[in-house]
Amino acid sequence: MAQSNKFEDLTPSYDVDLGLYKEALDEAFNNKKVKNIAITGSYGSGKSSLIETYKKEKKLNVMHISLSHFEGDNSIDPDKIINVLEGKIINQLVQQIDSDTIPQTRFMIKKEVDKNKVIKYVGFIFTAAICLVINIYFENWKYLIVGLSKEFGLSFLLCLCSPFFQIITFVCFFVILVYIIYNIVLIQQDKQLIKKAVVKDFEIEVFEENNDSFFDKYLNEVLYIFRKSKIDIFVFEDMDRYNNNLIFEKLREINTLINSKLDGDRIVRFVYLLRDDIFTSKDRTKFFDFIIPVIPVVDSSNSYNKLKERFQKNGILNQFDQNFLSDISLYIDEYRILKNICNEYLIYDSKLNFIDLDPNKLFAMIVYKNIFPKDFSMLQMNLGYVKEIFNRKQEIAESHKNKLEKEIEDLNQEIDYINNIFQDNIDELDAMFFVHPDNLRVGSTKLENISNGVELIKMIKGNDYDADKYNTNGFFMGEKNLKNDFEKLLEIPEYKKIFDILTKGKGNEIQRINKEILSKRNEIDQIKRKSLSELINRDNKEEVFSNREDDKSEQYLYIKESSYFDLLKYLIRNGYIDENTYFDYMSYFYPNGISQNDKIFLRSITDQKALGYDYRLDSPIKVYKRINEKYYLDPEVLNNNLLSYLLSTDKKDELLKINQLLKTNNNLDFITQYFDTYINVDRFSFYFLNDSEVIKKIVLKEGINTVEMIKYALSFNDLKLDENTIEFINNHSEIVGSSKIVYDKYSYIEHVDNTKDEISKERFEENIVDKVANNFKNNGIEFKHIDFQNVDLAFLEVIYENNCYTISFDHVKQMMEYFYNLPSNCDYYSKNATLVFSDKEQPLYQYIIENPNTYLKMTLNSSNNKINDDEGVVIEILNMDNLENDLKESYIERLDTKVTNISSVNSELWDGLLINRKVNETEDNIICYFNKYQELNDVLIGFMNLFEKEIILDFDNIDNKYGDEFRSEFFDEIVGCNKLENKQYNSIFKNCNERHYKNFYIENLNEDKVDILIKCKVVRMNSETLTFMRKEYSSNIENYLDNYSNDYCDLIIDNSQLFDYDELLYVLESKQFSVLQKISLMECTSRTIDYNPNYLEKVKINILDSHLNEDDYQLVSDNFNNETDDVKNKITKVFDNDLSTVISKSISLNQELLFNLFGENEINENEKLLLINNSIERYDFESIRKCFEYIKDEDFIYIFKGKNPKITINDTNKSILHILKSKEIVSSFKEENDYYRVYIKHRK
């Protein structure tokens, strides 16, 4: 293929197919009214090619005025942009038009001077000067001529002295002077050589106007140039790049003025090549008379076809990934850029084709070079925006790793959450969350009576969720289906979460999560091997390509605001421009010498301008040979490729110097970033990770691969680690994720005829368990969280046997599963210690025995469940001497296991055991505790009070076992214990084999306790005890008397001095005493006894006979109807015998008792009226009438017969009449002589 066909120029084409454009242009140029024509289209759309082709075809006389302006040219003041544009237009006009055509213009153009014209004007001036001198000094002139003629004999010279010659010289002078003045005036008129004239103190401007605009200032000049130019079409290009529309207004005005002064049919047209968007939708039609839009030759929709066409033409299309070309073409929308990219690719490809390069990456680099040439140039110097993106790879990787680790942490928390779910099925879950409505029954069973929640749920579900509803009174209200209530539980987030886990199975979910964790850990391991493009994803792409440093935000603004910024992001994101190979596509190859890359590195050392550690060396061997050994102590020598070579060949001296350099400068960055390469890390670890101080600094800085670095350091060195490092290892069990390490060993082979070394790579794998385990033991490593899903079993066994782990629930559980061979569904929460203690030969048991405090804290904190360890294990734990008592107490509180004999546990813990009821409720434990403390303290009392069964103390056995003194003391302590619950108090003395006090003497007992003692016959009846009881427990006397009624009666009758009147009153009411006993006791006193209607008949008769109190008469009368006939007769007799007292005390008598008394012969009429007066207040009409009828008092009887009788005046009658009036039986009464006239109240 010919060379000329490979490349395409970037100039406009002269042979494009005009098509319909030709008609449009013809219309524009043939229409005399059209003077301003706009040809619009995007950059590279073919506007220039269109006008050039048309110009060539029509043979038009066209002048092009191109006003180029490029991005980055910021030197022009925006306020002066219009002057700049006008100046550029004038300058291009003047430069392109023949100066002879516009001689009068003041805008002079530098050109070659005409020597003949200069000689002519010098001759004229010299001749004029000679003529002027001759005329002024003519006499002297004649003397000179005469003298010369005489001296030399030249007589012909005398004619020069004639007056005619003088006239001739004068005429010559005048003619030359006029000619010179004429030319000066002409030049001034055309060129305005004189611009200022000064007359004394005045300065005069010549042709000066007060306007800064070039077009306004030199309008006549501009119009003159356009008119005289003999050009009818002026094409203005690239004015739109200035984004200033005012220039179009100026040019339209100029065009109008030009055409207004033209003669004939001549028309001057301005043609503008512009972008479509330079004006708003309406503005552009105001400026232009005719607008022709140009459809782009190339845009993002067809640039792919143009690329294919171009590369196919050059036979290289098959080199490319067609998808890549298709993608990249979407961003390229300008034909000139497309052509130049293709041109440059052909050049670069021809120069670099003997190097094994990826054509796609090369093309991507050429695209980058064309869209951002400045940044491309900076990248060659390891600077610029793209280089900064490359430099952020480590930061991006760290961010990605942190994100994955956070996700792993969340997943581990999810596993912990699942492990803490104590429910094993949906029924148990429902039992926890379901709250059933009140008054429901399933069958005949009330739901609230079912204490076991799981059984309740099963019962409801077994009945198809149907239940019967009752009201509070137990009446059936209807049926209720509870299925919706259960389904609503799914609306509770916590329930729904546990429900989903149980549905899928806890084991399956943990297995799924562990697989996810493993996948993410593998992903973390791969991060260090990933390229930048592989680290960029949808989530972080915006962060990756944003620049967070304020001082650089302006520096790269031109990139971020560019329409091609997305194209650059595409190239980097897809790895077409990558951090590892970009320089291969930018440098030139020189055979048989050192590469440009390597040269730059060597220069950086001597110039003391360090390059990046990852700067790629083509030949580390050649570089090594050319580095003076003194430079190995300079930081500029630090390079990954060079160090890899030094390690591969074990250059001890150089490596030690670099190590010294790193320690001196405290440079961890180089160490950590080189380790990420995993190249020759065996020797690297030996040389650079062999110092505990270095390891400590790595830990304190903590990067992505800190764990791996420590692992390798422990694998190749014996280290004494500091506390920080030990703590770090303790927190990172991933260090034991594998018992092997894998790394690459590079070997380098130099080639004289190539700038690149040949690299031989071999993968090594080493078992590190023994070496690392030894470091673990020597440094007391204790892992805080072992990932049992990913831990290497060989490492796990070493960790287990050497106790290199903290005591935690998960560790203990997993260790038992692995080494005790226990299933995962064992009761690790409630019987953890029982499981651990089940095999005392295991290292785990020994580890816990040595660290019981840590273990017990773990057990207590691992769950809120009760602990149900075997009794033997509980006793062993509680009796550990090296276990803190506080932890023992906490352990006791959580126990669900009870100790059979309290004596089997250290006595210091007895209180805790009793308070928390963790010992069996036996009498032996009560006695054992009392024997220890010799008192019935609050702890023991509380324990006894909560006995579910009766406490039965065999005091005979206690006597035999502990002696009479202990038994007596114990008995007294219990008797005197008010804090003991009555249930237990009663139980003890009810079953005490009738043990009692001969004389009771214990004080300050509660009444209820004394009652129990009386009831249980511990307190007996005798004179001493009775006296003590009256003094100390008077409120218990009644109970005491009831329980010992016979003994009491005998005691009082035998010894009347013990008689107590108040006790007698109680005895009379008590049912525990017989009538004879009561009467016998009544005979012990002569005092009156208060009458009580509830007393027995004989008791009441006895009182009426011998002990009746007059104050009780009213009570006796009121209760008369309720008494027996014997008692009534006795009462009538007593009242009759003491009638005067009855009357004087105004006793209101029962009507039956009143009539009984009226029947007695000894009562006179006046006494009867007095008895009636005292009694009728409480009687009704009929009862009062019967009273008067019974005594046959006619005067009062008339009242009841409706008459108005006269009644004898006396106090008794008056009182009776007042009572009858108050009862409205009479209306009134008044005195008439010696009588009261009574007026009755007529009754309806």
With H, G, I as helix, E, B as strand and everything else as coil, classify residue 1049: helix
Q: How confident is the model at residue 94 (pLDDT cuts 50, 70, 90)?
A: low
What pLDDT is stored for residue 71 in this prediction?
46
pLDDT of residue 2: 38
pLDDT value at residue 206: 41
Residues of the chain with pLDDT > 90, as a percent, come to: 3
pLDDT of residue 70 exceeding 50, the answer is no
Copy the structure tokens of residue 14: 């002269």
pLDDT at 200: 39
Tell me 1019's DSSP state. B
In angstroms, what is the C-alpha Rg of the chain?
Answer: 65
Residue 203 binned pLDDT confidence (cut-offs 50, 70, 90): very low
CA–CA gap between residue 722 and residue 395 (Å, rounded): 28
User: How sure is the predictor about 400, in pLDDT bands with cuts at 50, 70 and 90?
Assistant: confident
In the prediction, which pLDDT does 697 show? Answer: 80
pLDDT of the residue at 199:
37
- For residues 986 and 1016, is the Cβ–Cβ distance under 8 A? yes
* Model pLDDT, residue 66: 72
DSSP class of residue 934 equals S
- Find all residues with CB under 8 Å of 163, minimum gap 6, and list them: none
Q: What is the pLDDT of residue 111?
A: 54
Mean pLDDT of 307-327: 79
Q: What are phi and psi of 203, to 5 degrees?
A: -115, 125
Query: What are the tokens at 1055?
Result: 């010894």
Kindly report the backbone phi and psi dihedral angles of residue 505, in degrees, each rounded to the nearest multiple of 5, phi listed first: 100, 125
Confidence label for 241 from pLDDT (cuts 50, 70 and 90): low
Q: Tell me, what's the pLDDT at 3?
A: 41
Confidence of residue 198 (pLDDT cuts 50, 70, 90): very low
**pLDDT attached to residue 83:** 67
What number is the average pLDDT over the span 576-603? 70
Q: Which residue has the higher pLDDT, 488 or 110?
A: 488
- Note the pLDDT tens digit of each residue in 599-653: 888 888 888 888 888 888 888 888 888 888 888 888 889 998 898 889 888 888 8
Instruction: Reply yes or no on whether the pLDDT at 583 is more than 50.
Output: yes
Is a pLDDT exceeding 90 seen at residue 1069? no
β-pair partners for 805: 783
pLDDT of 195 strictly over 50: no
> Measured between alpha carbons, how far is 447 from 1011 in angstroms, rounded to an integer?
41
CB atoms within 10 A of CB 100: 7
d(CA 237, CA 252): 15
CB 527 within 8 A of CB 535: yes
Q: How confident is the model at residue 576 (pLDDT cuts 50, 70, 90)?
A: confident
pTM for this prediction:
0.46
Tell me the per-residue pLDDT of 976-1032, one tens digit each, with 9 for 90 and over: 888 888 888 888 888 776 677 788 888 888 888 888 888 888 888 888 888 888 888
pLDDT at 4: 44
Predicted confidence (pLDDT) per residue in 836-885, tens digit: 998 999 999 999 999 999 999 888 887 667 888 999 999 999 999 999 99
The pLDDT assigned to 878 comes to 92
pLDDT computed for residue 46 by the predictor: 65
Q: What is the average pLDDT across 418-443?
A: 78
Q: Residue type for 209, please?
A: E
Neighbouring CB atoms inside 10 A of 1064's CB total: 17
The average pLDDT across 230-246 equals: 72
By DSSP bridging, strand 233-237 and strand 269-274 are: parallel
- Dist. CA 858–CA 62, nearest whole Å: 96
Mean pLDDT computed over every residue of the chain: 79
SS (H, E, C) 993-1013: CCCCECCCCCCCCCHHHHHHH
pLDDT computed for residue 853 by the predictor: 92
Q: Name the residue type at position 439.
A: N
Contact indicator for 700, 730 with CB cutoff of 8 Å: no
Mean pLDDT of all residues in 200-214: 45
Model pLDDT for residues 946-987, shown as the tens digit of each residue: 888 888 887 878 888 888 888 888 888 888 888 888 888 888
Least confident range from 58-62, 314-318, 771-775, 1236-1240: namely 58-62
pLDDT tens for 1085-1144 read: 888 888 888 888 888 888 888 888 888 888 888 888 888 888 888 888 888 888 888 888
* Span 740-772, pLDDT tens digits: 878 788 888 876 656 677 787 888 888 888 888
Using the predicted structure, report yes or no on whether residue 592 has a pLDDT greater than 60: no
Q: What is residue 73's predicted lDDT score, i.e. its pLDDT?
A: 47
Question: What was the pLDDT predicted at 86?
Answer: 66
pLDDT at 499 over 90: no
Q: What residue type is 5 in one-letter code?
A: N
The C-alpha atoms of residue 393 and residue 790 are separated, in whole angstroms, by: 28
Residue 837 in tokens: 């203690």
> What pLDDT does 550 receive?
45
What's the pLDDT tens digit per position in 251-297?
A: 777 777 777 777 767 788 888 787 766 665 555 566 677 787 776 65
Q: Could you give the 3-state DSSP secondary structure of residue 205?
A: strand
Determine the pLDDT at residue 207. Answer: 40
The tens digit of pLDDT for each residue in 105-144 reads: 655 555 555 667 778 778 878 888 888 887 887 777 777 7
> Cα–Cα distances in Å, from 504 out to 426, 517, 1052?
11, 18, 86
Rama region for 388: left / alpha / beta (φ>0; ψ in -120 to 50; rest): alpha
Alpha carbon separation from 746 to 55, 333, 648 (Å, rounded): 67, 46, 6
pLDDT-wise least confident of 584-593, 1212-1221, 1225-1234:
584-593
> pLDDT at position 901, please?
93
Query: What is Dmax (Cα atoms) for the chain?
Result: 230
State the average pLDDT over residues 1217-1239.
Answer: 86
Return the residue matching tokens 């469940």: 865
pLDDT of residue 1: 36
